[in-house]
């Protein structure tokens, strides 16, 4: 019987590690562990430093990952966690308009045009005074038009 070379053992080990990593990324358990790391980083950070904390970017990356893997409920929950539950990130965070429009785009897939318009108006009430709102205004306007609505006058970018 032929002996297995050291190189073969290394290839098998790398393959096993790769498969374990993929399982970690794609499983609900892996995503919940990732969310736990984000929450832990958020809690352990000083409140005045949270706006620039990398965990905020990771929260949005996790929400995007849920979107890509077609787990819309989890994606919406992740965006809402960023915008509403973590007060030091929330609606005044530099990436809030991005999170808000992405949340609406996921929301849109499961609701009627009327519900989408109403949700967009609710979101606009929270975000229209944000410094980066003008940058994302065209996205919000397209969303409203696509759902047979018009931008409210007070929400128009100046």
What is 7-60 written as a DSSP string? HHHHHHHHHHHHHHHHHHHHSHHHHHHHHHHHHHHHHHS-GGGGGG-HHHHHHH
What predicted TM-score, i.e. pTM, was given to this entire model?
0.79
Comparing 71 with 125, which gets the higher pLDDT? 125
pLDDT cut 90: percent of the chain above it: 47
The C-alpha angle with vertex 141 and arms to 140 and 146, in degrees rounded to 5, equals: 100
- State the Cα–Cα distance between residues 107 and 84, nearest whole angstrom: 16
Residues 6+ apart with CB under 8 A from 121: 152, 155
Scored b (16 or more CB within 10 A) or e, 63-79 reads bbbbbeeebeebbbbbb
pLDDT-based confidence at residue 158 (cuts at 50, 70, 90): low
Question: Which tens digits make up the pLDDT trace of 104-148?
Answer: 999 999 999 999 999 999 999 999 999 999 999 999 999 999 989
Residue 42 is predicted with a pLDDT of 87
Burial (Cβ within 10 Å: 0-12, 13-18, ≥19) of residue 90 = middle
Task: Using the predicted structure, report yes or no on whether residue 22 has a pLDDT greater than 80.
Answer: no
Q: What is the pLDDT of residues 32-43, one digit of tens each?
A: 888 888 889 888
Higher pLDDT residue, 64 or 31? 64
Mean pLDDT of all residues in 49-72: 86
Write down the pLDDT at residue 114: 93
Domains and CATH numbers, the chain: 47-155 (1.25.40)
Residue with tokens 């032929």: 2
Q: Are the C-beta atoms of 52 and 95 separated by less than 8 Å?
A: no
């Amino acid at each position: 019987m032929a002996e297995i070379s050291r190189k073969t053992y290394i290839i098998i080990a790398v393959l096993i590690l790769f498969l374990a990593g993929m399982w970690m990324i794609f499983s609900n358990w892996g995503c919940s562990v990732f969310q736990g790391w984000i929450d832990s980083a958020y809690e352990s950070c000083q409140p005045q430093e949270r706006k620039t904390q990398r965990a905020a970017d990771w929260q949005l990356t996790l929400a995007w990952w849920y979107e890509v893997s077609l787990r819309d409920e989890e994606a919406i929950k992740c965006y809402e966690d960023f915008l509403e539950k973590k007060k030091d990130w929330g609606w005044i965070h530099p990436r809030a308009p991005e999170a808000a429009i992405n949340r609406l785009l996921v929301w849109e897939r499961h609701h009627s045009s009327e519900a989408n318009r109403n949700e967009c108006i609710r979101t606009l009430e929270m975000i229209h005074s944000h410094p980066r709102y003008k940058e994302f205004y065209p996205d919000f306007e397209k969303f409203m038009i696509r759902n047979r609505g018009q931008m409210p006058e007070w929400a128009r970018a100046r």
